[in-house]
Amino acid sequence: MATVNYTNPKTDLTVRLFDEFYKRELLIDSNVYDTVLSFFKNIFADGDAAENFTLSVFTISEDSGTPVETLLSELSKQNNIQITATLAYYLNNQRSNATLLGITNTPTPNQYTARNILI
């Protein structure tokens, strides 16, 4: 028995992403989501990593106001290490300075300030 696969124009063609850690919900066009996800699946062998990077790109796009296509074209010219550094740069602009990504040197407080900190 043959079947015909077609899209139903009455259904919503958006992807709804839930970030449970930050309690955030993003509504995304499914075609754009599939494009970004396939880009990261070609780069990374791990599917979870590809999905996390995809979520990061859409989060960056929403927070910075930069279109996803612009971010994707910028990332497509880079290798894996440069992609990670670029995403860390964008995400660090949205985070607290106490929780920066990709920073290996931990800031040491002033000696007199450190004595006053209670843990």
Q: Give me the count of residues in the chain.
A: 119
13-72 per-position pLDDT tens digit: 666 666 666 677 777 888 888 899 999 999 888 888 888 888 888 888 888 888 999 999
pTM, to two decimals: 0.65
| Site of tokens 């990504």 | 101
Residue 4 has pLDDT above 60, yes or no: no
Radius of gyration from C-alpha coordinates of the chain: 19
Residue 12, pLDDT > 60, answer no
Given pLDDT bands bounded at 50, 70 and 90, which one contains residue 93?
confident
60 contact partners, CB below 8 Å, separation of at least 6:
66, 71, 87, 90, 91, 94
Close Cβ partners of 80 (under 8 Å, ≥ 6 residues apart) = 43, 44
- The predicted pLDDT at position 87 comes to 83
In 3D, which of 30, 93, 84 has the Cα closest to residue 59?
A: 93
Instruction: Say if CB 26 and CB 61 are below 8 A apart.
Output: no
Retrieve residue 99's tokens: 């929780």
Token reading at 22: 């930050």
Top pLDDT among 48 and 107 is at: 48
User: Which residue ranges make up each domain of the chain?
Assistant: 14-115
What is the band of 1 on the pLDDT scale with cuts at 50, 70, 90?
very low
